[in-house]
A and B are shown apart, each in its own frame.
Chain A
Amino acid sequence: MDFSITEEQRQLVETARKFTRERIIPVAQKLDEHGTFPIDICKEGWELGLMNVEIPSEYGGLGLSCLDHVLMMEEINYGCAGIGTTLAGNNLACMPLLLGGSEEQKRHYLGMLTEAPIFAAYACSEPDAGSDVAGMRTTVRKVGDEYVMTGQKRWITNGGYASWYSVFGRIGDPKDRHKGVTCFVVPRDLAGVSVGKKEDKLGQRASNTTDVLFEEVKLTRKNLVGGEGEGFKIAMKTFDRSRPWIAAGATGIMRRALDESRRYALERKAFGQPIAQFQAIQFMLAEMAMKYEATRLLMLKAAWSIGEGRIDAIESSYAKAFGADSAMAVATDAVQIFGGYGYTKEYPVEKLMRDAKLLQIYEGTSQIQRMVIARNLLAQGA
Chain B
Amino acid sequence: MQIDLSEEQRLLRDTCREFADKELRPNAKKWDREHRFPAEAVKKLFELGLGGVAVPSEWGGAGMDNVSYALAIEEISRGCASTGVTLSVNNSLYCDPIAKYGTDGQKESFLTPYARGEKLGCFGLTEPQAGSDAAEQRTTAVRKGDSYLINGTKNWITNGPVADAIVLFTMTDLSKGTKGITCFVVETKTPGFVRQKADEKLGICASPSCTIFFENMEVPISQRLGQEGDGFKIAMSTLDGGRIGIGAQAIGIGRAAFEEARDYSKIRKTFDIPIFQHQAIQFMLADMATALDAARLLVLRAAWLKDQGKRHTRESSMAKLFASEAANRVADKAVQIHGGMGYSKELDVERHFRDARITEIYEGTSEIQRLVISNLLLK
Contacts and interface: CB of A to CB of B under 8 A. Distances in A.
B289 A377 contact: yes
Nearest to B4: A1
Secondary structure of the B side of the interface? helix
Contacts of A4: 1
B286 A290 contact: no
A286 B367 CA distance: 10
A12 interface: no
A213 interface: no
A158 B215 CA distance: 76
Nearest to B65: A1
Interface in A356-382: 367, 369-371, 373-375, 377-378, 380-382
Interface in A286-331: 286-287, 289-290, 293-295, 297-298, 300-301, 304-305, 308, 314-315, 318, 321-322
Interface residues of A, number: 47
A54 to B, nearest CB: 17
A294 B1 contact: no
Contact of A381 (B262, B290, B373): B262
B378 A378 contact: no
Interface in A234-278: 258, 262, 265-266, 276
Contacts of A373: 285-286, 289-290
B321 to A, nearest CB: 6
Interface in B278-336: 279, 282-283, 285-287, 289-291, 293-295, 297-298, 300-301, 304-305, 315, 318, 321-322
Given A318-B294, A373-B290, A378-B276, A293 B285 contact: no
B50 interface: no
Nearest to B288: A377
A381 B259 contact: yes
A143 interface: no
B374 A282 contact: yes
A283 interface: yes
Given A262-B377, A290-B373, A378 B298 contact: no
B270 interface: no
A378 B279 CA distance: 12
A147 B321 CA distance: 57
B11 interface: no
A82 B326 CA distance: 32
B146 to A, nearest CB: 45
Interface string A52-93: 000000000000000100000000000000000000000000
Contacts of B370: 282-283, 286-287
Contacts of A369: 286
A3 B303 CA distance: 11
A297 B266 contact: no
From B9, B276, B279, B290, name the one whose CB has the most chain A CB atoms within 10 angstroms. Answer: B290
29 contacts: A1-B2, A1-B300, A1-B304, A2-B3, A3-B1, A3-B304, A258-B377, A262-B378, A266-B378, A282-B374, A286-B370, A287-B370, A289-B373, A289-B374, A293-B298, A294-B295, A294-B318, A297-B301, A304-B3, A321-B286, A370-B283, A373-B286, A373-B290, A374-B282, A377-B285, A377-B289, A378-B276, A381-B266, A382-B263
Interface of A: 1-6, 67, 258, 262, 265-266, 276, 279, 282-283, 285-287, 289-290, 293-295, 297-298, 300-301, 304-305, 308, 314-315, 318, 321-322, 367, 369-371, 373-375, 377-378, 380-382
